[in-house]
Chains A and B, each alone.
Chain A
Amino acid sequence: MSEYISIKNLSVRFGSVEALKNVDLEIPRNQITTVFGPANSGKTVLMRAINRMIELSPTLQRSGDITINGESIFRPEVDVAVLRRRVSMVFALPTPLPMSIYENVIYGLRLMGEKNREKLDAQVEYGLEAAALWNEVRNRLHDPALSLSGGQQQRLCLARSLALDPDILLLDAPTAALDPISTAQIEETMIELKSRYTIILVPHNFHQGARVADRAAFFLGGECIEVGTVSQIFTAPRDSRTEDYVSGRFG
């Protein structure tokens, strides 16, 4: 197993709130790793640490390190803009920007100053195709993105990330606001995408993690309790807290 993202003794505090405590976690390439646990267990903060979104908070204190391909993302010469395009995030609620479908998908490319029409068109088709939305919107690319249904909006957000050709996808409960049919579509898409991307998924519930992921990491109170393959974590957890959680005793 080749580690790709490596989180080493990471602690994160916001003011007096301790969000992550000495987390160690290895994430292999081209797999889906699910990070699950009850509310406030630090899952989202972990995701936001990997693309350095946590730095938007003025009260942040961090120690420890995260490396991608062996290189620390906190080195001073790292450009956060480049990092965030390489490590792209999809949020829990569908968040299309108030512009057309087309403009939403190329938003990241526009920020990079890409003006070549053909390149932009190609990335729009690629992103929407990969997010399984192309056939539904190909004839209305210039309609407002807010006219799409909730499930379509979330796939659009996925397309927006994919159009940047990232290496890593951070999916933070991407189906939390969706109906079962849209959820199933997104889950299928995730499984198709893992051959090309490394995916970290905060599942909408841990059953989702069990359905789509290869590896699972259980978080509780900002600590990484246990990591393993999905079948090991969900059928034979080593830690009693993991067992209590997956068997539904709390959470």
Chain B
Amino acid sequence: MSDQLRGKIAIGMIWAAALFSLSVLILIIAYILIRGLPQVSLSFLLESPTDLGRSGGIFPAILGTLVLGLGALVIAVPLGIGSAIYLTEYTYPSRLTSIIRFGTESLAGVPSIIFGLFGFIFFVSYLKMSWSILAGSLTLALMILPTIIRTAEEAIRAVPQSYREVSFGMGATRWQMVTTVVLPTALPGILTGIILAFGRAVGETAAVIFTAGTALNIPISVFSPVRTMAVHFYILAVEGISLEKAYATGAVLIITVLLINIGANMLITRAVVRTGRK
């Protein structure tokens, strides 16, 4: 077999693999949108469910999803970026940093149901938060923390060393160097990680079903229980309440995640263009 032929076969196989992955994704999204979208209307988005979700809308679940996701970010983003800055700018590689890094990596591999169980035992029962936005957000925050730390760390490491030298050379303190040069330069990468994490939090079921509850009411405080769209979907489908409404919820969830991704991408592109990096 000639090298050229071998190359052509390889390209063909790579193409097929890419095509297969893409079509599976499109198939899933299309299936849910085709089954779900016809049920989605303005009233479905803005009304509360009635009869356990058999009829009415999913407004409380949309609200619950966004509030839990944002709550998780509010907790995890400062912790995650702080840890990443500490690991990259304030320590030299040592046994301690490798232990921390090993810890965060292990945390990333823990199944979300374990986080849910831990959240239930620790936040809900032991700290007596009961099923609530607070307990759910804290649990989600723990779950997405490794993603945020890892991506922020990588983005910060990718900042050219020469920027740090220049900053110190102009008389910057370490903290000034971090805030004026490192963080602005790493921002697009850090934002990407945050978006990824938010996507995971928004679509999460197992970690929140035990910690935020399944209440269908509109939450009034961080101590109120809420139901997320993913949990709503799960309950509607598993308990055979309404498959139509389940698919409609799934469609709204997918569109929400897509919108967040598109919005974030636009934000990141703007940030990159402003500094003149290609």
Contact = CB atoms under 8 A, between A and B. Distances in A.
A142 B162 CA distance: 22
B276 A143 contact: yes
A97 B166 CA distance: 8
Interface residues of A, number: 33
A107 B276 contact: no
**Chain B residues touching A, range:** 20 to 34
A82 interface: yes
A136 to B, nearest CB: 17
B43 interface: no
Interface string B153-191: 000000000110111111111001000110011000000
B275 interface: yes
A144 B275 contact: yes
A107 B170 contact: yes
A214 to B, nearest CB: 25
B168 A84 contact: yes
B161 to A, nearest CB: 10
A85 B170 contact: yes
A78 interface: no
Contacts of B169: 51, 53, 84, 88-89, 91
A110 B180 contact: yes
A93 interface: yes
A56 B170 contact: no
Interface in A69-102: 80-85, 88-89, 91, 93, 95, 97-100
A160 B170 contact: yes
Nearest to A160: B170
B6 interface: no
Interface in A83-130: 83-85, 88-89, 91, 93, 95, 97-100, 107-108, 110-112
B275 A111 contact: no
B184 A98 contact: yes
A145 B276 CA distance: 7
Interface string B257-278: 0000000000000000011110
B126 interface: no
Contact of A88 (B163, B170, B185): B170
Contacts of A58: 92
Contacts of A53: 165, 168-169
Contacts of A95: 162-163, 165-166
A157 B176 CA distance: 19
Contacts of A100: 276
